[in-house]
Structure 1
Amino acid sequence: MTDGRSRAATFRVAVLGVLVLVLLAGCGTLVWLVAGRRGQAEEVQQQREAVMSQTDQFMLRMGTYGPDLLDSKGAMPEYRSRVKAVITPKFAVSFDKQAGTAEQLVAQSGVSRTAKVFATGVSTLDGDSAEALVAGTFTDDYKKAGQQEPIPFRIKVMLVRTGGKWLVDNFMPVTGANGAGQ
């Protein structure tokens, strides 16, 4: 009987050893999975922050200009350059047309416009595209009429990831009581 008890004890120790190894392997796998997910979450958060930062830069650069940026030809090359640094080449084509209107307004009326961003959030994000919503105000200051009341804005900004960098590809005002674009 002692021989039978000895084998049973040895078997129990062996089973216990195997269970301990399985438990340790399971804990190690759990730690590895949690760390991997945390890394993915941090990467997504970094991308969100990059999208929001680029959206803010776009709004501030696009919405801030004045007579101090005019050259001798009545153009604002520094303004155009600042904005083009954060937009896609495709979007730059339509921006150039819009910038001409701003340049004409500045040259004729001496208006200065200042943009302020109050809040920015990412509404969609995947590997190569994103949409952000941004809210703030534009404040116009005319030579003769003085500073006007701030004009609030809510804008949806579409971005694409090009060469590892987020660039604005388009934007549109957000309207309606529920915040949905039209």
Structure 2
Amino acid sequence: MTERARRGESPGTAAAAADQPRPPRWRVVLAGLLALVVVVCVAMLVWLSVGGRGSSAGGLDLPDEREQVMSLTDQFVKRLGTYSPDMLDDSGQMPAYRDQVREVITPKFAADFDKEVATAEQLVAQGRITRTADVFATAVSSIDDDSARVLVAGAFTDSYAQGTGKKATTVDQEPLPFRFTVDLVLIDGKWLVDDFTPVSSPDDAAEGGTDPGTGTGEGSTP
């Protein structure tokens, strides 16, 4: 008799239980992969928490500063990645767009921004491009008393107008994911963005990722 039979179950019940199919192999593999993803995510969080430049606690002893730099990074990316034809003036520039970005960046960075913003304005004027930015997550990589580095991930969503008059339609593009490292500095008691860099994964490099400035690949900048 089986163990179930000895405990009062009928032999038929025990046999039926023994005949239950095992979980498909793909489920076992999937469970293993999910466990691996959890381990990798935990490892990344640990790395971020101990990677502080000027703080032995990885910036955990500066909670207010951490919140400030993450909030500013969120604002910066959304301001940098949000524009539309409505912002164009008669000269083909977007003064409101320029102002919204300049408010959260350093004078040094503003000089570089002014050289590049004309490209975005040209795309908007010629292609009637509208872009919005969504931020999915931010994390402080390092922070000290007057500088910080924040990692940010999100996606740009572009659309453009096609046709004119009553036949005009709006064509939405697939969201374009991005990953940036954003460098911030404290100037006169105010955190400002001093630079940012698109981050590419090893898979992107292996596939010959596109130039971040072209707006045609992952991590593209406005």
Q: Same fold judged by TM-score > 0.5?
A: yes
Match of 2:51 in 1: none
Q: How does 1:32-181 map to 2 (within 5 A)?
A: 44-144=62-162, 146-177=171-202
Q: What stretches of structure 1 of length at least 5 have no aligned partner?
A: 1-40
**Matched residue count:** 139
CA RMSD, Structure 1 to Structure 2 (Å): 1.8
TM-aligned CA deviation for residue 130 of structure 1? 0.3
Q: In the aligned structure 2, how far is the partner of 1:178 from the partner of 1:164?
A: 40
Q: In the aligned structure 2, how far is the partner of 1:178 from the partner of 1:149?
A: 20
Q: What's the TM-score once normalised by structure 2's chain length?
A: 0.60
Match of 1:4 in 2: none
Q: Secondary structure at the match of 1:146?
A: strand
Match of 1:21 in 2: none
Aligned AA for 2:109?
F
Q: What stretches of structure 2 of length at least 5 have no aligned partner?
A: 1-58, 163-169, 205-222
Give structure 1 regions of 4+ aligned residues with deviation exceeding 6 angstroms: none
Greater C-alpha radius of gyration: 1
Task: Indicate the percent of aligned positions where both proteins have the same amino acid.
Answer: 58
Q: What's the TM-score once normalised by structure 1's chain length?
A: 0.73
Q: In the aligned structure 2, how far is the partner of 1:174 from the partner of 1:42?
A: 24
**Structure whose residues are more often helix by fraction:** 1
TM-aligned CA deviation for residue 98 of structure 1? 1.4
Residue-by-residue CA offset, 1:92-141 (whole Å, 9 max, x unaligned): 01101111100010000100000000000110000110000000000010
